[in-house]
Amino acid sequence: MDSSRFSGKKIILGVTGCIAAYKSALLVRELVKAGAEVRVVMTPSAARFVAPLTFSTLSCNEVIINIFPGDSSSGTSQNTWHIDLALWADLMIVAPASVNTVAKIAHGFADNALTTLITARRCPLMIVPTADVDMYNYVLTQENLKKIESTGAYILEAEEGELASGLKGKGRLPEIDKILDAVSVVLSSRKKDFSGRKVIVTAGPTYEDIDPVRFIGNRSSGKMGYAIAKAAFLRGAEVTLISGPSSEKPYQEFRLIKVHSASEMEAALRNEITDHDTLIMSAAVADFKPAVKAENKIKKDAKPASIELTENADIVKSLIGLTAGKVIAGFALETENETANALNKLKSKGLDLIALNSAVKEGAGFEHDTNELTLIAKDGSQTAVPMMLKFDAANVILDNVLKVKK
Ligand code: PMT
């Protein structure tokens, strides 16, 4: 975790009475590790699932549960605590948000410390609802979530999977990393501005087989592409991720198409492109492949003097006839003459936007969690993206994708 990701940010974490409340302890830990100051407010039922001491220890702050002080003779100095704390925060998160609390928030209740803070705050609100599958899908729960969203709050939907009841379905608290990425989106004042858009992202390397056990590949980890796919999803897009071999973990909501070689990636893109409006080509596609793939493992004593190579298709170029009216962004990975090469690729590949990154700069390009980019638009305008987490750089790319007019 980057200790400066949420540096100086003041976050109220509301925890409600769900079994997923135990995972909120990990969320506090990660927010604090990322530099945020966290104040936890629990509903009385949340305190039946997890001891408040867990949260006060992890946040290094008192935990608030009661709206009124326990002893009326000592309470007068605290009578506007809810206003003070609400105004202090840069963000309020409710994770997990139970069906009961979701209903209360939707209807403006202020009957406990948590719901009172929601009504008093001026900062953005992020809700992470969780419940057993039928409670989650209950028509009024869904209506309540829509109502909360219509007030400008960010809803991070539950994930599907096995639930505490043993039932399977939607209702699980998302992975902590996904919640943190959503926090980053909300803190940067971005919203679900990709709602209604269908985005394809390509990621990772391609492997061009020499024989059944060897291949020609490159050092792409998939981190950049997966970060773009995640950011687009959290900003409301429907995401198809076409991924070469990578150990990155996709979101379960992605339509994930795994490919091995450049020709498989090209075939997948040909199938998918007409149904999407945006393509972000961050994969490191091999330009060459062995002319023949040996049927069996080449023996050491065969001592092949050379491997004959043949050119792969330039995938983005080959799609030009199919991409009219769509936004197409590509990358340029360079070691020299960076801007000139990127401009050339922008034009020759018919791109609307190109993200230039360096294969030699420390912290940029392959494998790192960070990247430094220059975004070049079709009209020649440039945006410098200083070294930052790939997820944050992905968001700047997406901001610039939104600026492309078609
Ligand atoms: O995966 P990571 O470890 O996080 O690393 C990220 C990255 C360095 C791979 C990524 O940021 C990046 O630069 N991706 C593009 C790498 C690349 O292939 O660059 P290029 O300059 O060779 O290609 C230019 C563009 O044409 C790219 O959008 C590429 O996807 C596309 N291309 C390239 C070759 C080919 N045969 N067909 C293509 O469509």
- Give me the catalytic one of 79, 112, 144, 218: 218
Q: Is 218 among the catalytic positions?
A: yes
- Compute the residue count for the chain: 406
User: What's the confidence (pLDDT) of residue 330?
Assistant: 98
Check residues 76 and 34 and name the one with the higher pLDDT.
34
pLDDT at 103 over 90: yes
Q: Cα 272 vs. chain centroid, distance in angstroms?
A: 22
The pLDDT value given to residue 46: 97
Residue with tokens 């940067």: 188
Distance 291 CA to ligand 1 centre (A): 22
Alpha-carbon gap, residue 270 to 300, rounded angstroms: 39
> Tokens 């936004």 correspond to what residue?
327
pLDDT of residue 78: 57
**What b/e readout covers 295-325, taking b as 16+ CB neighbours within 10 angstroms?**
eeebeeeeeeeebeeeebebbbeebeeebee
For 203, the enclosing helix (H) or strand (E) is strand 198-203
Q: Which atom of ligand 1 is nearest to the CA of 222?
A: 1
| pLDDT digit string, tens, across residues 11-33 | 999 999 999 999 999 999 999 99
Residue 71's pLDDT band (boundaries 50, 70, 90)?
Answer: low
Pocket test for ligand 1, best of 200, 208, 220 (most atoms within 8 A of CB): 220
Q: What is the CATH number of domain 10-71+80-187?
A: 3.40.50.1950
Which region, left, alpha or beta, applies to residue 259 given φ > 0 means left and ψ of -120 to 50 means alpha?
A: beta
E-state strands within 272-341: 278-281, 288-290, 309-311, 327-334
Cβ burial of 294 (10 Å; 0-12, 13-18, 19+) is middle
Q: Is the pLDDT of residue 298 over 60?
A: yes
Mutate to test the pocket of ligand 1, among 249, 311, 312, 316 (most ligand atoms within 8 A of CB): 316
pLDDT score at 69: 67
Instruction: Specify the ligand 1 atom closest to the Cα of 221.
Output: 3
Tens of pLDDT, residue by residue over 221-235, are: 999 999 999 999 999
Q: Is the pLDDT of residue 75 over 90?
A: no
Other Cβ atoms less than 10 A from the Cβ of 101: the count is: 27
Q: What is the pLDDT of residue 351?
A: 97
Question: Average of pLDDT values for 266-285?
Answer: 98
Looking at residue 112, its pLDDT comes to 95
Query: Sign of the CA dihedral 66, 60, 120, 191?
Result: negative
pLDDT of residue 402: 98
Report in angstroms the alpha-carbon separations of 340 from 102, 332, 384, 398: 53, 11, 16, 23
Residue 371 above 90 pLDDT?
A: yes
CA 109/CA 103 separation, integer angstroms = 9
For residue 300, the model assigns a pLDDT of 85
Q: What is the pLDDT of residue 156?
A: 98
The Cα 200–Cα 268 span in angstroms is: 11
Domain 10-71+80-187 identical in fold to domain 198-403: yes
DSSP state of 312: P
pLDDT at 2: 72
Q: Which of 89, 85, 110, 115 is nearest to 17 (CA)?
A: 115
Which own/partner pairs from 64-72 qualify as long-range (CB within 8 Å, at least 24 positions apart)? 64/39, 64/40, 64/113, 65/41, 65/113, 66/113, 67/112, 67/113, 67/116
Confidence of residue 253 (pLDDT cuts 50, 70, 90): very high
Ligand 1 atom closest to residue 287's alpha carbon, by position in its atom list: 36
Predicted pLDDT of residue 149: 98
Identify the pLDDT of residue 349: 96
The model's confidence at residue 73, banded by pLDDT at 50, 70 and 90, is low
Give the number of the atom of ligand 1 that is nearest the alpha carbon of residue 365.
Answer: 8
Q: Is the pLDDT of residue 76 over 60?
A: no
Question: Does residue 224 have its Cβ closer than 6 Å to ligand 1?
Answer: yes
What's CA 51's distance to the chain center, in Å?
30
**Which among 197, 121, 264 is positioned nearest to 402, based on CA atoms?**
197
Span from the CA of 264 to the centroid of ligand 1 (angstroms): 16
pLDDT for the residue numbered 77: 55
CATH for 198-403 is 3.40.50.10300
Instruction: Please check the confidence at residue 49 and state whether its pLDDT lies above 60.
Output: yes
Say yes or no: CB of residue 314 within 6 Å of ligand 1. yes
Q: Is the CB of 243 under 6 A from ligand 1?
A: no
**Average pLDDT, stretch 356-376?**
96
Instruction: Please state the domain extents for the chain.
Output: 10-71+80-187, 198-403
Answer whether residue 332 shows pLDDT above 90: yes
What pLDDT is attached to residue 68?
78
Query: In the prediction, which pLDDT does 39 show?
Result: 97
> Do residues 283 and 244 lie in contact, with contact meaning Cβ atoms separated by under 8 Å?
yes
From the CB of 354, is ligand 1 less than 6 Å away?
no
Contact 113, 141 (CB under 8 A): no
Reply yes or no on whether the pLDDT at 3 is more than 90.
Answer: no
Query: DSSP assignment of 345-382, as one string?
Result: HHHHTT-SEEEEEESSSTTSSSS-SEEEEEEEETTS-E
31's enclosing H/E stretch is: helix 21-33
In this prediction, residue 31 carries a pLDDT of: 98
